[in-house]
Structure formats: C-alpha cells, structure tokens
Structure 1
C-alpha cells in the first residue's frame, strides 16, 4: 500500500478538520474541498501509470478514503465515489476510452461525479450523429455538481441498450438542482441533476451495461463502491471515538457517586472505550483484508472469474454489515462516555452519527446480511446488479 498517499490524505484531513463543524453547518456545495483534493493530487491516485496517474491499488485508495472520513465523512464519500466513477474507464471501457479520458483525468486531476442511481427511471440516449443526446433526471448525483466529469447511465432509445457515458460538467443542457439538504453527508454534493438534450460525444461512451456484455472485471464497480461504503463508515466511527476520547480526557467530569478524581478512572467509561476500540480494531482488520482482495481482483484483469468475483462480493457484504452496525453504535454511544455537556452544539459530535445514519440507508443492510447468510448456507453468490 502506498504510504505516501495515506500521508497526503492525512495532511488533507488536517486541513479539513480545522473547520469541519462550521462547514457542515454551512451546508454549501464543496467546491473549496474539491480543490483541496486536487491540490493534494488525490483524484489521480488510481489512474494507471500508463495514462499519467499514480497507478496505486484499491488498497491505497480505500485507506485514503478511510483517513479522510475520520474528520469529514462527506468529503470521504465525494472522493470514494470519484474513484469508482473514474475506474469505469479501465474496468468497463476499452483501452482507447481509458487513454482518451484517463490521460486528461490524471493531468488535470479531474474529479468524477455520477448520475447512475439504478432505482430511478433511466436516462435516455437518443442517437445524434456520431453521439447521443442525453435526457432525464437523477435525484442523487454525488459529485456531479462540483466535479469535472459525470458518469451517466442511459438507455439508447433505438436499441434499448444501457450504456455508461461521460459528460463534462460544462456541457450544454445540464442543470444541477442544488437540492441536497439532508440530515447528514451534507457536503457530499449529492443533489439532483437534469439533462435536457445534453450532447454526448460518441468518443465519450464508456461501455455497455447489458447483461450479456458485463464481465467479472467490469462488474467490479459494485463491490468497489460497497467497499468504499465500509471504509468511510469505519473512518467516521474512528473519528468519532477519537474526538470523544479527547473530550473525556480534557473535559468530562467523574460521576459524583463514583468517588473518583477523573473521568478517565471511571470503570464504566474505561470498559466502554475498551469495547469500542476493540470492535473498531476488528472491523479495521476486516476492512484491510477486503481492500487487499479488491486490489487482487482488479490485478487479475480479464482473467478474473465469476467465482472469484462472487467471493469478493460476499467479503465486501460482510464488511458492510459489521461496519454499518459498529459505526451506528459508536457514533451514538460516544455520548455515554462523554456526558451531558458533550451534547452542546458547539462540539458538534452529532455530525458523526448524522453522517453514518444518513448514508447507511443507501441500500438496506438487511439485504447484505441476507447475501452473507445465503452464501454461508448454500454457497450462493450475490447476482450482479448495481447494488450487489
């Protein structure tokens, strides 16, 4: 794993930590934060060296996402989604597409957003000369409004084929709704986007999502995005526990009936921190194994089999289950070890819980438990969808 890049992420996280609470409350589009990511050259981390990028593995990319999440879950989501959106170029695209779009993506540190929410009506792609005209609306389009390029999924009106295409942010006919105003992940730029006759150059077509054309390699997009989820849930929980620990050490008071001089001597407080720290350590070890497996699967290239892809999908589902449960428990439980005064709005500890509570509803974790259980009992792998 590239420790240099984790160090860069740590430096970026220090900058984000300075005003994390104030930015969360301001709820603005994260243009400044996106530029911070570019300044630290994190967007091109995964781009292969042949296209001018750093050529790092998914293990490094996920570690970077986890590091950023300790201070700002929104920006960790923004970057994590970017890595997955951008990776479509070499996972689902041809070498020509990867060269055409990967090289400027590395050179200019392009940030990639998405408009592919599969549970909404599909966007339409109407053939027009050598390309298409893109029409329709997606309610959730993380990163599109502040990124440089958006990956969109649309159905060709004449053939019914589902395609992935890339659309530059400044293309005509794009309207960003600016309507992301949710409980948490407030700076993830996840508002709506509407395309009205937006031109799509045929050379910016990435690949097909038709079931007969999907390969184990191109389908890695789904376990990759779910692995991103697990890593930034874990990072948020680690950040919450660290913030709580600092508060306990410097501000918490021992309970009057305990007869102790310091909150750090309270046996119940110590036991709670011990349980949380041990739990996050275990989830962290699992996250690192999953990251390594994703990197190995990616390195297999066209030789990756559906069985190998299936084993990875189950491992990722397991991570999502335990990371979701641990993050929700830790981010709500920190108040038990910090005390009533820690609920003051000036500390803003609630943002950790709000962030994981919001994003863990992305797709029901109960279905991930079901996938894990089905594999355990019957050996069945999750079928490929944009959620599994």
Structure 2
C-alpha cells in the first residue's frame, strides 16, 4: 500500500486512475497473451482488442471530442504513463499503440476542423492509425513516396519499410513529398492519411526481427492509390510547424517503453525469486542471498531513475505549448531520458537471469522475450546520438 501511495505522487488522481485501469487490463489480458504473441510472431490482436473495448483508442483524442485528452496540447504525462505500463506487459502492443497515438495527435496538430471531427470519431470508435516514415533508400532521410495531384485528390506512389502496426491499422499517415511543390524536402513534405484497405495498397507482414515480433513492422506499398483532398493533413511543408514537438515526443515515447520493458522483466524476476528460486549455500531463502539483494537493488534504482527522467521530459514537453521557450530544454530532457532508459532496459533485461538462475533460461518461462524486445526496440534510433545531443547542450553548442 505504501509503495502504491508513493507511486501515486508522480501523477494527478485522474492520471493515476487511468494508469491503474491499464495495469488491471495488462495483468488480466495483455500480459498473459504476450509470450504467445512473441512465440508465434503474430500481431497482438488480444492486447489491441482489449485496449479498444476499454476505450483507450481515444486516449489522445481531446476530451471535448470524446477522448481522454492525452498528448498534443493535452496531458503529455498521461500518454507517457500509459505507454510505460503497457510496455511492461507487452511491448509489441505498446509500440503499435504509441504509433496509433502519434497518428491521432497528427490529426490534432495538422487537421482541419472537419478532419478532426471525422478522424477523432474513428479513433474513439476503435479504429487504429499507423505512421509510416522509413524507406529503403541509401539516404535514410530521403523520401521517395510521392503525392501527385489529380481530380478530387491525389495519387500516392511509394514503398515503406518498418511499417509498424500495418496489419491491424485502418488508417496510416504516409509521409510523402508533393510532386508539384518546389523547394527542399521539408517544403514539399506532405501527410496523406491513407486507408490501408484502399485499392493499390499492399501490406506485407514479413517482419522477422529477433524481438518485437508481434509489431507487424514489415513493408507496405502504394501504387496509384487515390487519396481524397479531405484526407491530406495540411499542405506542403505544414508539418514543419510542429515537427520539433513530435521529434522530442518520439524519443520520450520510446524511452517510456524501454522503462516499461525493464519494469516487466523486473516484476517477473521478483516473483520468480520469491516463489521458485532455490537458495545458494548460506542463504535460508533465495530472496535473502546478498548477491541477489545487491542486483535487485541495482536494477530497481536503474528503473526508478530512468522513470523519473522520462516523466520529467514528458512534463517539459507538455509545458511547451504554453511556454514555447522551454522546447530546447524539453528536447534535451527527452535525450537524457532515452539514454537512461536504454541503459536500464538492456541492463535489467539481461541481469534478471543472474538473479533467477539457470532454470530461467528455459524456453517455457519466456524471460528472454524481454531482452530480445529491448535489444530490438532500442536500435530504433542510435542512442549515442542522444548522448551527443546532451553533451552539446551542456557545452552550449
């Protein structure tokens, strides 16, 4: 009870109530299906459907539009808290859900009133969004997906890789460039919202990573896909006005999930030690072994330290709408959080084997899932670049 009271101090009562709802859902439904999702390498329909039924697909929809008001121009900490909790139960589910919320927030940031009304309703009713950016080009930042104007809308042609969530999403932000606009890529950058069941869209669920095996992070292709005018969020270059916010949130969202992965592995290790682990000579119980106590203490400190950095970054990011001068500090806080969370995730998901013992390496326990997931997702963006960003900030560069 005291531990719960202390945790609650990190949140408002409303935030903590939502967090506990997600925790109960994780314990009852999402967590129990996570290892099967990992073994079979399939989309986590059980976890996603549980979130849908519980009304969480509207998490980042403004309250006035029927949602919970998390994220962009809303409660930044609430989104972070939910992602941390979800990742502790199933990080494939959390990664898909994070990108769904990115899509909903992009509607908020770039959409017209009519677009917001339509797409917010879609989210509240349980339809998922994805967000596709990566392409297999020699220049990893270059976009070759092109929108060409036609009667009543646009034709989209392009290919994407790492298309997380594509098997279960209805809509996807397909980051593209305008065929007609001139200037730099940023000035030609466009955000069509593509219905993935549309003619000309091919979804290939061929992701074969060692971890995050249920994310559906395969390939998608668009060939002459018609996108109505009303399904393009903003004109060429409009994203530049909010790109700094979403870039920082990108790091915070991943850091939150890294902390969650570490917390999930730690939770399983603690339960195993208390209920199944055999003591070494000199210890009455496995939980009394001094080396076990040392490692458990070290892991707990790493997780809690990273969690606090993630929450701080989230609070700063949320404050930027009213105080835009805080954005540089928020960006650096996001980098700090990602560094600490990456280190915590990799260290904890590996160290749990030391305290659980050789039997924990058995496939039947599935503890390796946490390490494989952490090793895979932490490669999404080079963490050394975040260390460099913090160093530049501290040296005034």
1:245 is the counterpart of 2:245: no
Counting only pairs closer than 5 Å after superposition, residues 191-340 of structure 1 correspond to structure 2 as 191-208=218-235, 210=237, 214-215=240-241, 217-255=242-280, 258-298=281-321, 300=322, 305=324, 307-340=325-358
* Cα deviation code 1:127-174 (max 9, x no counterpart): 111211111110111112211211111111122511011012221111
1:177: which partner in 2? 204
Counting only pairs closer than 5 Å after superposition, residues 1-388 of structure 1 correspond to structure 2 as 1=12, 2-14=15-27, 15-56=29-70, 57-106=75-124, 108-117=125-134, 119=140, 121-160=143-182, 161-208=188-235, 210=237, 214-215=240-241, 217-255=242-280, 258-298=281-321, 300=322, 305=324, 307-378=325-396, 380=397
| CA RMSD between the two structures | 1.8
2:76·2:318 contact (CA, 8 Å) conserved in 1?
yes
The whole-number CA distance in structure 2 between the counterparts of 1:19 and 1:374 is: 43
Q: CA deviation at 1:325?
A: 0.6
The whole-number CA distance in structure 2 between the counterparts of 1:223 and 1:149 is: 23
Q: CA deviation at 1:366?
A: 0.5
The whole-number CA distance in structure 1 between the counterparts of 2:47 and 2:268 is: 21
Q: CA deviation at 1:348?
A: 0.7
SS of aligned partner of 1:277:
helix
Structure 1 residues 209 and 77: CA distance shift in structure 2, 3 A: farther
SS of aligned partner of 2:191:
strand
Unaligned runs of 5+ in 2: 1-11, 183-187
* Cα deviation code 1:100-121 (max 9, x no counterpart): 3223322x12211111126264
Structure 1 residues 371 and 227: CA distance shift in structure 2, 3 A: same
Q: CA deviation at 1:222?
A: 1.4
SS of aligned partner of 1:19:
helix
The whole-number CA distance in structure 2 between the counterparts of 1:310 and 1:189 is: 34
Q: CA deviation at 1:5?
A: 1.9
TM-score by length of structure 2 reads 0.88
Q: CA deviation at 1:9?
A: 1.1
Q: CA deviation at 1:84?
A: 1.3
Q: CA deviation at 1:30?
A: 2.8
2:102·2:131 contact (CA, 8 Å) conserved in 1?
no
Kindly tell me the number of residue pairs found equivalent between the two proteins.
Answer: 369
Give the 4+ runs in structure 1 shifted more than 4 A: none
Q: CA deviation at 1:213?
A: 6.3
2:353·2:360 contact (CA, 8 Å) conserved in 1?
yes
SS of aligned partner of 1:155:
strand
1:34·1:147 contact (CA, 8 Å) conserved in 2?
no
Per mean C-alpha deviation after superposition, the further-off stretch among 176-185 and 245-254 is 245-254
* Cα deviation code 1:270-291 (max 9, x no counterpart): 0110111112111111122122
TM-score by length of structure 1 reads 0.90
2:62·2:68 contact (CA, 8 Å) conserved in 1?
yes
The whole-number CA distance in structure 2 between the counterparts of 1:197 and 1:315 is: 42
1:37·1:43 contact (CA, 8 Å) conserved in 2?
yes
Unaligned runs of 5+ in 1: 381-388
1:383: which partner in 2? none
1:385: which partner in 2? none
The whole-number CA distance in structure 2 between the counterparts of 1:80 and 1:209 is: 25
1:384: which partner in 2? none
